[in-house]
Amino acid sequence: MAELIVALDVASTAEVEQLVDRLGESVSFYKIGLELFSAAGPDVVRAVKSRGKKVFLDLKLHDIPRTVERAVKAGAELGVDLMTIHAVGGKAMIRAAKDAALACGARAPKILAVTVLTSLDQSDLADLGVSREMKAHVEALGRLACENGADGIVCSPKEVAHMRAALGPDALLVTPGVRPAGADVGDQKRVATPGQAVRDGSTHLVVGRPILEAADPCAAARAIAAEMGPA
């Protein structure tokens, strides 16, 4: 069954608490990103976990293996369920992240790799010395990550079907850029509906504005979950 993750794109722990309480039973998984974590720190993770919710801590770690290992350990000790690293950190860093997670036993967070940021295009890759075509580069980084211990990747809904075929049935495929049919797409360019993303192989959908900006956020979250259907 695919899971809905609501992106906590708000500025403070107080706003997070208000939102999580308002959404109540309609949402059980939340994403905390770099901006909120930098502003509010580990207390915001504790605030969400203490309400019995799952946390996707999306800090996109990229550093030497020892530092990433320690950062993953710190996240695991907070009880987070999913964490992100950059695949371009390389094999040793990916392995170090996974080993740090596994060392936490039953509380081990799953490790997701980011392949190529969606803000980059082919000419940016060329600037970075990458001559491979974007799709081939994303696929190669996804394979590198999963072959070295990552549990899955973050990818756009337009890449899901391809990455499911490339990475096999067990990989977690976490997709932002999801919009219910007829919704405002905002600044997202490559969107899919919840049903399409899940049919293509997404295991987790990350949704922000369609829920946060809805007149009735609970109803919006329930409608998206219903559109996701059983996987």
Note the residues at the interface with ligand C5P (CB under 6 A): 7, 9, 33, 118, 176-177, 186, 188, 206-210
Number of residue whose CB is nearest ligand C5P: 208
Q: Which is nearer to ligand C5P, 109 or 208 (CB)?
A: 208
Q: Which is nearer to ligand C5P, 89 or 177 (CB)?
A: 177
Q: Which is nearer to ligand C5P, 72 or 183 (CB)?
A: 183
Residue 211, Cα to own-chain centre: how many angstroms? 17
Task: Output the smallest distance, CB 108 to ligand C5P, in A.
Answer: 23
Residue 73, Cα to own-chain centre: how many angstroms? 18
Task: Output the smallest distance, CB 102 to ligand C5P, in A.
Answer: 26
Six token digits for residue 144: 């590198």
Of 31, 49, 54, 60, the catalytic one is 60
Task: Output the smallest distance, CB 127 to ligand C5P, in A.
Answer: 19
Sign of CA dihedral 114, 177, 83, 169: negative
- The residues that bridge with 58 in the sheet, in sequence order, are 33
Amino acid at 176: P
Where helices occur in 30-116 by DSSP H, the ranges are 34-40, 42-49, 65-78, 91-102
Q: Which is nearer to ligand C5P, 65 or 208 (CB)?
A: 208
Task: Output the smallest distance, CB 8 to ligand C5P, in A.
Answer: 8
73 is catalytic: no
Contacts with 25 (C-beta within 8 Å, 6 or more apart), sequence order: none
Instruction: Say how far apart CA 201 and CA 159 lie, in whole Å.
Output: 10
Catalytic (active-site) positions: 60
